[in-house]
Structure formats: C-alpha cells, structure tokens
Amino acid sequence: MAKVKINDVEIEVAPGTNMIDAAQQAGVEIPHYCYHPHLSIAGNCRMCTVETETPRGPVLEIACNMQARDGLAIRTDGDRVKQVRKSVMEFLLVNHPLDCPICDQSGECRLQDYYMDHARHDSRGVEAKVSKHKRQDIGEQILLDAERCVQCSRCVRFGDEVTHTGELRLMNRGDHTEIGMFPGERLNHDYQGNLADICPVGALTAKDFRFERRVWYLKETDGVCTGCSTGCNISVCHQEGEVFRYLPRRNDEVNKSWMCDPGRLRHHEVGGLERLLKARVNGQPGDGVAAAAASIKAVGAPKVALVLGTRASNEANWALAQLGKALGARLYWVAGNDAGAIEKSDGFLMDADKNPNTLGCRLLAEQSGAGDAEALKAALPELAVVLALEDDLVTRLGQAIPGLVALAAKESPTTKAAAVVIPVAHPVEMDCTYTNKQGRVQRNRRATNPLGDAAPAYAVVDRLAAALGKSLGTQMPVVTFLALSRAVPRMNGLDYKSLGPGGKLLAPAPAAALGGEAK
C-alpha cells in the first residue's frame, strides 16, 4: 500500500491509484471534467489541478494524471489551486451559451456545480460569444449541442476505447474547437445513452429524456436492469410513482459505468400499454388468486405444474418452489426467451439470454428437483393446471398449454392464452434479488408502488398459498431471502445487508453440479 498525504490527511491506497480517486477516499473532492474512472487519461480540462510537494517547493500539477506512490503529498485547498480553478471556470464559460433554462443537464451540470463551488466570478466578456452548431441529431438516442461543450473529450475516448467506433472527433482549432462527426456519419452502436451520461455538461443529451422532467425533481433508487442476464446495475430515476429514466450505476465487476440502449429504454414498460394492471379470469375481470386456487383444488395437486420463472426474482421462485413442496405439485423450469425479445449478444454487456435470473432460477430448480422444458412437454398431456411465473411459456414451449395460470407484469402470448391472469409488480416496484450470469446475487430495490392491482410475485404466491390453505410466509422479501439463503448451500451466509450495493458472488459450485454455468 502507498501512503499518500492529501491536505495533511494521511491515507493508504493501492499504489497506482488515481489521485482523484485517492482524494475521494480521503473525503476530499477534486473537481474534474475530463477524468473518468473507466476511460483513459486526457488531462485537458485542467480543473483537477492540485499542488504537489516537491524539493523545489509546491508545484501545480493535474491530479488525474498522478498515480499514488509512497510519500506523495498534495494540497487541494491552497490559494493558488483555488485561483487555477477559478480561471479554468472563467475560460470554460467564456463561450458558454448559458442555455440552462432549456438545457436538460441543468441540475446535474458540472459547469453549474463548479461555478457555484469554485468560481462565482462576474463575466468580463466584452466580445460576442462564438456560436456553434446547436441541436444536431447525431444518433438515435443523442442530440449534440456544440456550444455547450467544454471539449473534455470524454465522448471521443468513449467511442475510441469502449465501443471502438470512434465517430465523434474534436474539430477545428482554438475557440472554434467543437465536437463533431464526419459528414453523413451517425452514431451507430447500442451504447449511445452512455454518451449523455458521461458528458459533464449539456452538450450530449438523451433524446429519450428530452424535456421530460427537470432532474432535481427525480429521486434515484438502486436497481438492477432486467433486460438480460448481465444484470447491469442501474439507478431508477422516478418522481411521484412515475419512472423517467434508467441510468447505469457504477459496478466495476459487472457493467463498470455503462449500460446498453435497449436496457436503458426499458423504463417505458413500467407504465406502458402492455402492462397488466387487473386480474382476468377467462378473459373477464375477476379475482385471479381465488380462481387459480379453485382450479388447483378442483384438479388436485398431481395434475398441477408450477413453472419457475427465469424472469422472476429469487424470492418469487423460492416462494413458488415452497408452494410446490407444500402442495405436492410438480415443479418445472423453462429456459429460453420471451416473445419480442431481440436475442442480440455483443460480447460486452448485451447477452443473448434476455432473462435477468436464469442462473438463480436454475439453481432453485436443481435444488427443488424441478424438471426442464423437455420434461414439461412430455408431462403436458397429464396436466390440468400449469402456473407460469412471469415467463412467456407459450412462446418458449411453442405449443398450447392447458389450464394456464399466468403471473405476469405485462401482456405476452402466454397471458393472452391463459385462463387466469394475475398481475405482478414490475422489478422497479419491488424489493428482490436477481442472480446474473456471473453468479452475482444483486439486490434490486423498490422505487415506486405497484401499479393497478399488481403485487410482488412472491406476495402473490403467498396469497395463492393462503387461498389453498398453506402458509408460506413469503410476503416479506427480507425474510424470504433469509429462508432462501439458509436453504440453498451456494447462497449460505447471504442476506440483504451483506449483498451491499454491488452484490455478492454465489459460492463456487460443487464439482459438476452446475456445469456450463458461465454461458
């Protein structure tokens, strides 16, 4: 470990740690525009200038290009440093259009924040501001306003280093420098939304969120993207029960600071037209839980199949497995993708398996001796009731299913074919966990209340059990997860608290038990 001194505070960090990160660990914020933990160092904004102790006395250097080594001492609170920050801000704002009233970045803009924290100068400008190209449509998700840009080049480096597409470039010289693209070119990758996130100012803004809400109204809740088995960590931005955007949340082990556009746009399904809000019994509104319980009672447990869901949370799968055990019903699980899933895999974040919890479902299926898709197909003629937990079974099996009871958050071929449909909560509406393809159990928190009559799937299963005269006690996710982690050997010792913001990996599989897990 390297001992570094930041403003007289000595801390130990790993040698080679970037000094901006090291300062953060010491509780000192170093303002910066161009530095990003997951991009290369450009060192062009000069905002992170600090004083270093040298034999020649204190010297001004940029913190982002400085790696922690033993004995390094920096000061961030000297008068010279303050003057540098002030001057940098004055230069950056010389040609800034001050579009704040119409700029979507307003409220999370580094220019606004750092002006208030470090500059507070009056404009000395007498020349007219340089005008550049505004409102340029450069991609499916992104608008570019070159006037607002501070030339930090984060977007250029993102294109060069992360997507390897390199569309954006800095063009022209001096105060005419602007971000641009070659004529006729457009952004052409699935990670465009990240450009709006990494842009520290309002130059690159997201079309999807354009003029939707001011960011200071939004609350952020930690969630997990349920678009595929990668399980990118996200922040769900919501106001008064309405979800406006997903932002990637930093998790160096899963998604770094990025997420894909299809995942980002999934917030539209929370209150979308496809959303299921009311229970249906044979196409008519009715009490879904009572109808499902009645049909299960009528045919008897041996003719009932409960199908665990790869889209459902660990808690819901556990609840359903417990119900199966209590009733003596057959358990199955079916891998595959739902109708409408775009099975795109790019070897980066997007995975061909579009289910957030395939591994968790499979683990519980193996634990409870559930059969797979082939077994379910073979057993179909003997079955009278099949309960599908959030998965689109009709599409996955490719055939009609008798006595289908569907627990689902949105419409699918399965809910359309089902005799009984019970609405369940969308992932942003419940506390639960998902196990991603790495075997990382990640916590997803409730951001908004369930819409309509929906309730979290584990609570719906609990109600169904109660209607069948069984007591599962799975309505509380914390308790359900504790019971689950105690019962599943690979999850032993996990609870909601120990999962933390970044999740925890499952214990390694006993030999040959889960071969081919890292798909």
Partner 1 sequence: MPLPKPQKTLSFAESSYLVEVIKGMVLTMGHLVKNIIDQDRFRTVEYPDVRKPMTARYRGAHRLTVRPDGHVKCVACMCCPTVCPAKCITIIAGEDPSDPAEKFPVEFDIDMLRCIYCGFCVEACPKDAIRMDTKIYEINAYTRQDMVHNKSYMINLMDGLKPEAEDVYRHDPAAAPAGYTSDEEPVA
Positions that interact with partner 1 (CB under 8 A): 100-102, 106, 134-135, 210-212, 214, 216-217
Query: What values do phi and psi take at 98, rounded to 5?
Result: 50, 55
Tell me how far, at minimum, the Cβ of 257 lies from partner 1, in Å.
28
Q: Rounded CA gap, 192 and 137, in Å?
A: 12
Tell me how far, at minimum, the Cβ of 212 lies from partner 1, in Å.
8
Query: What values do phi and psi take at 234, rounded to 5?
Result: -135, 160
Tell me how far, at minimum, the Cβ of 102 lies from partner 1, in Å.
4
Tell me how far, at minimum, the Cβ of 104 lies from partner 1, in Å.
9
Q: Rounded CA gap, 62 and 58, in Å?
A: 13
Q: Which C-beta is closer to partner 1: that of 102 or that of 378?
A: 102
Tell me how far, at minimum, the Cβ of 207 lies from partner 1, in Å.
10
Q: Which C-beta is closer to partner 1: that of 201 or that of 331?
A: 201
Buried b (16+ CB within 10 A) or exposed e, 307-326: bbbbbbbbbbbbbbbbbbee
Please, is 415 exposed, middle or buried when counting C-beta atoms within 10 Å of its C-beta (0-12, 13-18, 19+)?
buried
In this structure, are residues 138 and 187 in contact, taking their beta carbons and an 8 Å threshold? yes
Tell me how far, at minimum, the Cβ of 141 lies from partner 1, in Å.
16
Q: Which C-beta is closer to partner 1: that of 134 or that of 186?
A: 134
Q: Rounded CA gap, 15 and 12, in Å?
A: 9
Q: Which C-beta is closer to partner 1: that of 128 or that of 511?
A: 128
Instruction: Identify the sign of the CA torsion 98, 102, 107, 109.
Output: negative
Residue 46: C-alpha distances to residues 32, 33, 195, 408 (Å): 8, 8, 21, 52
Tell me how far, at minimum, the Cβ of 491 lies from partner 1, in Å.
45
Tell me how far, at minimum, the Cβ of 178 lies from partner 1, in Å.
18
Query: Two tokens at 177?
Result: 């420098």
Q: Which C-beta is closer to partner 1: that of 108 or that of 212?
A: 212
Q: Rounded CA gap, 471 and 460, in Å?
A: 12
Name the strand (E) or helix (H) holding 316: helix 314-327
What number of CA atoms fall less than 13 Å from residue 500's CA on the CB side? 7
Q: Which C-beta is closer to partner 1: that of 135 or that of 486?
A: 135
Q: Which C-beta is closer to partner 1: that of 134 or that of 278?
A: 134
Q: Which C-beta is closer to partner 1: that of 101 or that of 183?
A: 101
Q: How far apart are the first and last CA of the chain?
A: 36
| Three-class SS state of 256 | strand
- DSSP codes of every residue in 259-311: --HHHHGGGGGTTSTTB--S-EETTEE--HHHHHHHHHHHH-GGGEEEEE-SS
Residue 45: C-alpha distances to residues 78, 82, 508 (Å): 19, 15, 45
Q: Rounded CA gap, 434 and 134, in Å?
A: 42
In this structure, are residues 196 and 140 in contact, taking their beta carbons and an 8 Å threshold? no
Q: Rounded CA gap, 41 and 38, in Å?
A: 9
Tell me how far, at minimum, the Cβ of 238 lies from partner 1, in Å.
17
Q: Which C-beta is closer to partner 1: that of 144 or that of 234?
A: 144
Q: Rounded CA gap, 427 and 62, in Å?
A: 43
Q: Rounded CA gap, 167 and 12, in Å?
A: 40
Tell me how far, at minimum, the Cβ of 100 lies from partner 1, in Å.
7
Q: Which C-beta is closer to partner 1: that of 102 or that of 171?
A: 102
| Three-class SS state of 127 | coil
Tell me how far, at minimum, the Cβ of 148 lies from partner 1, in Å.
12
Q: Which C-beta is closer to partner 1: that of 131 or that of 449?
A: 131
Q: Rounded CA gap, 302 and 472, in Å?
A: 20
Nearest to 71 by CA among 48, 50, 47, 55: 55
Tell me how far, at minimum, the Cβ of 290 lies from partner 1, in Å.
41
Q: Which C-beta is closer to partner 1: that of 24 or that of 106?
A: 106
Q: Which C-beta is closer to partner 1: that of 176 or that of 214?
A: 214
Tell me how far, at minimum, the Cβ of 213 lies from partner 1, in Å.
8
